[in-house]
């Protein structure tokens, strides 16, 4: 299990609530980027043995993520989700779209946390909340790892729905990432309406 070390450190400073933030979908060639914010308060305890399995979403199977998704939703103080679609990504670039998705996730919360921890090396710009960016935070910080699971499950569900609209691309299998199967289908059928035209592999095909 990822211990609540960072969270306890922040709560000892007097903060009463904390939100962990992470995203899914920065790298794919299609679909949205999705961010999640998992909020806990200073009284939060790991009282469910399944919490011990919470880790960076990339290290978990899809089945395990789905199971943990429900546990997180039912035990966190609040969970917020924000989505930026492929058009927004193309318009403002993936980094800015990621920040926007994070802000959207925070805006869906009934009560904003007093402090934020997020995965990566950049803080969210123009946000009136104290925050700390932590490199490899999804491996080191419980709430960030929990947010990575929520974001991944939410995005996978979106991509599975897009598969129903565009089955020839097999979005249900690769979720929009540039796998061999995806690249073969992309070359065969050309970009779909949900591909990110600003991303190099798609842009090259459009020029061909």
In sign, the C-alpha dihedral spanning 170, 174, 175, 177 is: negative
What is residue 46's predicted lDDT score, i.e. its pLDDT?
Answer: 77
| Residue range(s) defining the domain that contains residue 69 | 5-165
Our measurement of the distance from residue 84's CA atom to the centroid of its chain's CA atoms, rounded to an integer in Å, reads 11
What is the rounded distance in angstroms from the CA atom of residue 3 to the CA atom of residue 10?
A: 13
The CATH number that applies at residue 130 is 3.30.420.10
143-167: b (≥16 Cβ within 10 Å) or e: bbbbbbbbbbbbbbebbeebbeebe
- Return the residue matching tokens 């058009």: 87
What is residue 207's predicted lDDT score, i.e. its pLDDT?
Answer: 76
Whole-angstrom CA distances from 202 to 48, 174, 177 are 44, 16, 12
Q: Is residue 199 part of a domain?
A: no
Q: Which portions of the chain are predicted below pLDDT 50?
A: none
What is residue 56's predicted lDDT score, i.e. its pLDDT?
Answer: 64
Is residue 32 a contact partner of residue 89, using CB atoms and an 8 Å limit? yes
Widest CA span in the chain: 58
Q: Phi and psi dihedrals of 55, rounded to 5?
A: -155, 175
What is residue 61's predicted lDDT score, i.e. its pLDDT?
Answer: 87
Q: Is residue 187 part of a domain?
A: no
Our measurement of the distance from residue 22's CA atom to the centroid of its chain's CA atoms, rounded to an integer in Å, reads 5
What is residue 189's predicted lDDT score, i.e. its pLDDT?
Answer: 95
Closest C-alpha among 40, 24, 41 to residue 32: 24
What is residue 59's predicted lDDT score, i.e. its pLDDT?
Answer: 82
Token code pair at residue 87? 């058009």
Token code pair at residue 66? 């789905």
Q: Is residue 28 part of a domain?
A: yes
Whole-angstrom CA distances from 76 to 44, 45, 199 are 8, 10, 35
Q: Is residue 44 part of a domain?
A: yes
* DSSP 8-state code for residue 182: H
Is residue 20 a contact partner of residue 38, using CB atoms and an 8 Å limit? yes
Token code pair at residue 166? 């565009």
Q: Is residue 174 part of a domain?
A: no
Domains in the chain, number:
1
What is residue 208's predicted lDDT score, i.e. its pLDDT?
Answer: 60
* DSSP 8-state code for residue 21: E
What is residue 120's predicted lDDT score, i.e. its pLDDT?
Answer: 92
């Amino acid at each position: 299990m990822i211990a609540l070390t960072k969270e306890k450190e922040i709560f000892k400073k007097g903060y009463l609530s904390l939100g962990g933030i992470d995203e899914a979908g920065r790298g794919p060639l299609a679909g949205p980027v999705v961010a999640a914010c998992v909020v806990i308060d200073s009284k939060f305890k790991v009282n469910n043995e399944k919490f011990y399995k919470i880790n960076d979403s990339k290290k978990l199977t899809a089945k395990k993520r789905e199971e943990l998704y429900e546990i997180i939703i039912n035990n966190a103080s609040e969970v917020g989700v924000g989505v930026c679609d492929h058009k927004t990504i193309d318009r403002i670039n993936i980094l800015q779209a990621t920040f926007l998705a994070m802000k959207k996730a925070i805006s869906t919360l009934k009560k904003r946390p007093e402090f934020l921890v997020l995965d990566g090396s950049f803080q969210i710009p123009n946000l009136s909340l104290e925050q700390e960016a932590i490199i490899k935070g999804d491996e080191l910080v419980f709430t960030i790892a929990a947010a990575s699971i929520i974001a991944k499950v939410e995005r996978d569900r979106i991509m599975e729905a897009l598969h129903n609209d565009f089955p020839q691309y097999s979005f249900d299998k690769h979720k929009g990432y540039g796998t061999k199967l995806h690249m073969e289908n992309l070359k065969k059928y050309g970009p779909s309406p949900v591909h990110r035209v600003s991303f190099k592999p798609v842009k090259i095909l459009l020029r061909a």
